[in-house]
């Protein structure tokens, strides 16, 4: 895969997430994905495999996103070799009425057109103060 095709996989993944098409989003992930969130929140840690990523992290998070769904403004996309990095800003309203406008740096590693590693760097204090 080329760097450009890897970038497109990442952008399609984020677009599917924004569209709440979670089945499509998960199709871009390797079955053994390693998803890591920094910090020490209840949402932090290493989530190994699609099932753990969905059941233990993404589903609990998406259940708290209000009607507008995920809205992520992509600021930068950089790639080299099998690594893609995105910088973005999220704009969401949670079901509890709180705004959740976090900033992200995501680092992805791809193999054969699938994301095998996804590291998430964000404001963990904001997660703690807004999510149930």
Q: How many CA atoms lie within 13 Å of 90's alpha carbon, on the beta-carbon side? A: 25
- Residue 38: helix, strand or coil by DSSP? coil
The contacts of residue 113 (CB under 8 Å, 6+ apart) are 1, 5, 9
How many domains are there within the chain?
A: 1
Predicted pLDDT at 85 = 98
| pTM, entire model | 0.93
Per residue in 61-103, pLDDT tens?
888 887 767 788 999 999 999 999 999 999 888 999 999 999 9
Residue ranges making up the domain that contains 33: 3-130
- We report the CATH number of the domain holding residue 42 as 3.10.450.50
- Give the E-state strand segments of the chain in sequence order: 29-37, 45-48, 72-80, 83-90, 92-93, 99-100, 103-111, 114-122
């Amino acid at each position: 895969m080329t760097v450009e095709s890897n970038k497109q996989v990442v952008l399609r993944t984020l677009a599917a997430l924004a569209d709440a098409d979670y089945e499509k989003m998960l199709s871009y992930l390797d079955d053994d994905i390693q998803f890591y969130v920094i910090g020490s929140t209840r949402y932090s840690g290493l989530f190994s495999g699609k099932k753990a990523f969905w059941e233990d992290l993404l589903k609990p998070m998406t259940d708290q996103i209000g009607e507008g769904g995920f809205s992520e403004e992509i600021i930068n996309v950089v790639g080299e070799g099998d690594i893609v990095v995105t910088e973005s800003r999220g704009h969401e309203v949670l079901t509890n009425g709180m705004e959740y406008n976090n900033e992200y740096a995501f680092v992805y590693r791809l193999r054969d057109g699938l994301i095998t590693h996804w590291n998430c760097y964000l404001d963990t204090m904001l997660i703690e103060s807004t999510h149930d």
